[in-house]
Structure 1
């Protein structure tokens, strides 16, 4: 899910993802994208040595990557790009896969490079992913970017066994108080964790297991000793860690 710039390092750290005995073969079947931001898509170029790359994305995200970043022109001389649509309806991840996937729109925020593209401003620009295992009925909702907690997202969160949510900023004024930005967290497309409109209390009300991901380097939760962890533990909310394995 998403192809971050450090994708090569992730593959190196996990032997199960190393290339097989046949040349140019990899266990990586493809990439599912939640948005078209650079920090979630630049890693696709690291997969160019495969015969083909399957990319599952919404229509606006595909349009941005092909028209704004010219991903097709850059990569097709190296590898075939196979595009699969991602929408609100649940679809099998692959023919022989027990997993089905659907998208939950969460924001119309475009990447900066796509600001001038002729494309609709709809919720397909940023989505949460709903993954369900048909053999067990267990499900996961993954939203690394969350600009608004809509009724649709609430229903998806209530029905999921695990919910992994955008934890970019602890407070809404964090970008301002940290001195690196001129907009609030909400204005940047990330609901804050704390505060009356924050996500922590919403997550605490859910029955499923809830975790935060996608922490910015200004977020105090990066410090394991920060008292903010105690606040979350009281609410029953966790912070996902690198290398964590979650069993559905």
Structure 2
């Protein structure tokens, strides 16, 4: 394939995947019975030249996810994976780093508080093969092998529970804007968003494709759902995404209580009618 912006959804579920190993709800049971498609924890991959691939987060299932994505298979001696862009420090987004430990010189971008939270893990990984650790919020962004220009943008979010001193910092969670220099095409990747902001509108206005947090469909879905951005409702992400019909819009990071997991649900019909997609794990497309 020529020089184009390619994107693969390696996993599209929230932490724990779908079905969750410790859940016997109706949806998880249906997934175990093969009636609903199973999904791994959220992460993705992007490239601008089909040779140099960059991971967006690394799930605990990253080995299985990479094995299932033929575009990211290694040659006899080399992997096409050049590095990782972390959106936050949540365990389901960083646990896969340990699987990649044998890749020398792997470059990992994250915000300063995320890099600090990962200090013990970074030290352990560097004992295998030293990696490059870089500030994703560096002024002006950064250029990746393959002709991609990336900027990271803080979005509202809390630190993970394992961080001992949960200091307030607006940089715990970021969204990424990835632009292909050759074509000018732009991807916005925002799998964890707690509140909508004008900044997100500005980012998406310049994008050809946006992959957005779809964790919960409705605020009454679970007690936790009411504390973060949901899909439905007048202040939900679907209403916001409808303001940007020019972009391809896709939901990811779906938790097991979310009716969007069922293709036959009224929720899926509502989202589809609005022009927003829910794609399976392994979906690959050109932007």
Same fold (TM over 0.5): yes
Check conservation: 2:108, 2:131, Cα contact below 8 A.
yes
CA distance in 2 between partners of 1:105 and 1:50 (Å): 28
Give, in angstroms, the shift of residue 19 of structure 1: 3.4
Aligned length: 230
Q: Which runs of 5+ in 2 are unaligned?
A: 1-55
Q: Whose relative contact order is higher, 1 or 2, with alpha carbons under 8 Å and at least 6 apart?
A: 2
Match status 1:193 vs 2:231: yes
Please point out which of 45, 48, 57 is paired with 1:2: 57
- The answer to whether the 8 Å contact 2:69/2:282 transfers is no
The CA RMSD measured in Å over matched residues stands at: 1.6
Match of 2:134 in 1: 84
The TM-score, its normalising length taken from structure 2, stands at 0.76
Mind listing any 5+ residue stretches in structure 1 that lack a counterpart? 177-183
What corresponds to 1:33 in structure 2?
Answer: 86
Query: Which of 58, 69, 86 is the aligned partner of 1:14?
Result: 69
**Match for residue 24 of structure 2?**
none
The question of whether the paired residues in 2 share the 8 Å contact of 1:3 and 1:31 is answered with yes
Contact 1:107–1:147 (CA under 8 A) maintained in structure 2? yes
Q: Deviations over 1:103-140 (max 9, x none)?
A: 111124101111416x6x33221011100011111101
| TM-score, with length taken from structure 1 | 0.87
After TM superposition, what 4+ stretches of structure 1 lie above 6 angstroms from structure 2?
none
Which residue number in structure 2 is paired with residue 132 of structure 1? 179
Partner of 2:14: none
Secondary structure of residue in 1 paired with 2:178 = strand
Residues 89 and 103 in structure 1, CA contact (< 8 A), matched pair in contact too: no
Distance in 2 (alpha carbons) for counterparts of 1:204 and 1:42 = 34
